[in-house]
């Protein structure tokens, strides 16, 4: 569960008048996240926030200072160190599989497992890593390993969304997990069939809480299901063809709704589609690059990723084979010949050699770089 000390400090901040912070390293961030509590030091963003309300402390510690400064002093004095933990979790490859060097992926490579919106932040998942983004910027300390943030959640998840009650739901294969903040609900994972017999048992591609109708949508291949969270059952008449959502791709890998609720964004591969919730169709000019528009990648990064050759790409190879006669007729002229006779013999020899010469063979063949498995 969450560390009681960190929870107490977070709630004390609210009691003192602090709102949630946009700094992911702050104790007042929207999510409780692990920090080193030994020699704990209040993060700088929280110090600035509390001092903006109550003012900075005076240099000498005076017991006659007004009471509001005492809680700040107590929080500050119970610690000496800011959490170094947040930048650390993704970096130690020590406990990771030795077959992988532990290097962090580059978000500009794309090809994510899924993307989702939690509390207004974009979360991007790839293999055993995830990123948090705000204002098209990757937050400091990311990517982070999924296991170090959501204990018990496996790598390579298929889909994720935030429920109406604020809990996060993750899907992989035929199972799903429910988390409250960063803590798994007891008894999970559960089988996907518990959500309804009509859902595909092998898993889903994308999950979306669609606020315009207050329902949850599950997408798989060329079909989709509308799900009623209260009744814990799919609505009658589903599944329906995905073409109802005019213009979006089959088997989307992620979806989230805009903050104002006017648009829904669908993600697949390295592209995204902007869906108008009123007109029920994709906006003109889409799909566009999700790497440039959402991840803050520049054109150079995108082109470099695009130019990477796929394992099954074929190359044309030209091989030239030269056949050279194995014997050469050497004529030893013992007696000096007349110059004109030598020229005639030379011309005659060249003519005969050309007629008998084995023509060169040029072989073109196509070979795959790797077998497609």
Binding annotation for Ca(2+): 158, 160, 207
Q: Which of 11, 84, 194, 283 is catalytic?
A: 11
Neighbours of 110 (CB within 10 A): 22
Look at residues 220, 150, 156, 228 and name the one whose alpha carbon lies nearest to residue 185: 150
- For residue 270, which of 247, 233, 297, 243 has the smallest C-alpha distance? 297
Question: Which of 102, 124, 100, 105 lies closest to 113 in space, CA to CA?
Answer: 124
Cβ neighbours of 18 (radius 10 Å): 19
Give the Cα separation of 103 and 128 in Å (integer).
12
Query: Which 3 state secondary structure label does DSSP give 305?
Result: helix
CA-to-CA dists, residue 66 to 11, 15, 73, 168, angstroms: 21, 17, 12, 42
CB atoms within 10 A of CB 318: 8
11 annotated active-site: yes
Q: Which residues are annotated as a binding site for Zn(2+)?
A: 10, 14, 20, 28
Following DSSP, what letter does each residue of 46-112 receive, concatenated? HHHHHHHHH-PPPSS--TTS-TTHHHHHHHHHT-SB---TTTTTTS--TTS-TTS--PPPPGGG---
> Would you list which residues are annotated within the binding site?
10, 14, 20, 28, 158, 160, 207
> CA dihedral in degrees (13, 15, 20, 21; nearest 10)?
-30
Q: What is the CA radius of gyration of the chain?
A: 33
User: How many Cβ atoms from other residues are within 10 Å of residue 256's Cβ?
Assistant: 23
Catalytically annotated residues: 11
């Amino acid at each position: 569960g969450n560390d009681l000390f960190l929870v107490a400090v977070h709630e004390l901040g609210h009691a003192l008048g602090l709102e949630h912070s946009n700094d992911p390293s702050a104790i007042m961030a929207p999510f409780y996240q692990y920090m080193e509590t030994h020699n704990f030091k209040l993060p700088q963003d929280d110090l600035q926030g509390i001092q903006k309300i109550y003012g900075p402390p005076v240099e000498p510690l005076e017991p006659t200072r007004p009471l509001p400064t005492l809680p700040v002093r107590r929080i500050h004095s119970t610690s000496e160190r800011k959490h170094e933990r947040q930048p650390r979790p993704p970096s130690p490859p020590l406990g990771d599989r030795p077959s992988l060097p532990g290097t962090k992926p580059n978000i500009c490579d794309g090809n994510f497992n899924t993307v989702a919106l939690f509390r207004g932040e974009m979360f991007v998942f790839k293999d055993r890593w995830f990123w948090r983004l705000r204002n098209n910027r990757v937050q400091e300390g990311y990517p982070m390993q999924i296991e170090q943030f959501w204990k018990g959640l496996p790598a390579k998840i298929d889909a994720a969304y935030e429920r109406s009650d604020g809990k996060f739901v993750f899907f992989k294969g035929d199972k799903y997990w429910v988390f409250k903040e960063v803590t798994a609900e007891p008894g999970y994972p559960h089988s996907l069939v518990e959500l309804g017999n009509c859902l595909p048992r092998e898993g889903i591609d994308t999950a979306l809480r669609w606020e315009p109708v207050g329902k949850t949508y599950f997408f798989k291949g060329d079909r989709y299901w509308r799900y009623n969270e209260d009744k814990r059952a799919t609505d009658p008449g589903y599944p329906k063809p995905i073409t109802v959502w005019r213009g979006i791709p089959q088997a989307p890998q992620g979806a989230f709704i805009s903050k104002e609720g006017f648009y829904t964004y669908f993600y697949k591969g390295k592209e995204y589609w902007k869906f108008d919730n009123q007109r029920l169709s994709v906006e003109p000019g889409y799909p566009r690059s999700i790497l440039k528009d959402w991840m803050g990648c520049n054109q150079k990064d995108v082109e470099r990723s695009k130019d990477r050759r796929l394992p099954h790409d074929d190359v044309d190879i030209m091989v030239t084979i030269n056949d050279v006669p194995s014997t050469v007729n050497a004529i030893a002229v013992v007696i000096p010949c007349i110059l004109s006779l030598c020229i005639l013999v030379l011309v005659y020899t060249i003519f005969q050699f050309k007629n008998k010469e084995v023509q060169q063979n040029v072989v073109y063949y196509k070979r795959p770089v790797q077998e497609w498995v």
